[in-house]
Amino acid sequence: MAKITRKPAPRKASVPKKEAKAIVAKPKAPARKSLKATRPKSIKPWTPAEIHEVFSRFRKANPEPKGELEHVNPFTLLVAVVLSAQATDAGVNKATRALFEIADTPQKMLDLGEERLREYIKTIGLYRTKARNVIALSAKVLSEFGGEVPRTRAEIESLPGAGRKTANVVLNMAFGEHTMAVDTHVFRVGNRTGLAPGKTPLEVELGLEKVIPAEFMLHAHHWLILHGRYTCLARKPRCEVCLINDLCRWPEKSV
């Protein structure tokens, strides 16, 4: 039998290894500026002497500032403040003048009833919800507080429709407590002037309470509200007539 001889398979041509890629050093990224360097410089804090001067000027210009919500007793004040949420004082006063002539106590308000109350306050925003809250708070004042507006912040805040600002206004105006009610005007003034910067109304409230001397605290929130309402306006502040324009820290003031 003939011997079969197999030819060896031809070797594959060796493939040269890929040349190593040249290592190119990447240029270093520019050093990142520190956060401290990029942040704007903070507003220079007010000195105690400057703060005393500010409120001395407010006191001299308006020794006995009054809140603009019309009321005849602590209960009607409480109701007026609850109604003033997201509404103007002028609008609330227009609605409550006739209302308070017939319902100036919790019992009279309950006797009036929610449906009739709505008719008196229907020109005020959210009047249906507010009418429900006023009737509910009247019932609670009668059942839990003997018909008298309570005199602590926690108790007032427990009433339907009443929050911290409402409690602070009532405690200050009805009972002479040294509280700081922060509405949109006080919040703006506290931040814009640098008196008490804060991201929330509570931060501004606590900041103002910390820096304002006790001798001014009874009227301080009225002065700040009036200043924000008539001088330190939201869109176009009247810096040219501002009592404190030389002390104000606002970098965009026009004087």
| Residue 53 CB coordination number (10 Å) | 15
| Residue 78 CB coordination number (10 Å) | 28
Q: Look up residue 55 and give its amino acid.
A: F
95-107: b or e for each residue (b if 16 or more CB lie within 10 Å)? bbeebbeebbbbe
The three-class DSSP label of residue 161 is coil
Name the DSSP class of 19. Answer: P
Q: Look up residue 235 and give its amino acid.
A: R
Closest by alpha carbon to 149, among 167, 165, 164?
A: 167
Rounded Cα distance, 121 and 94, in Å: 9
Residues with catalytic annotation? 165, 183
Rounded Cα distance, 239 and 248, in Å: 10
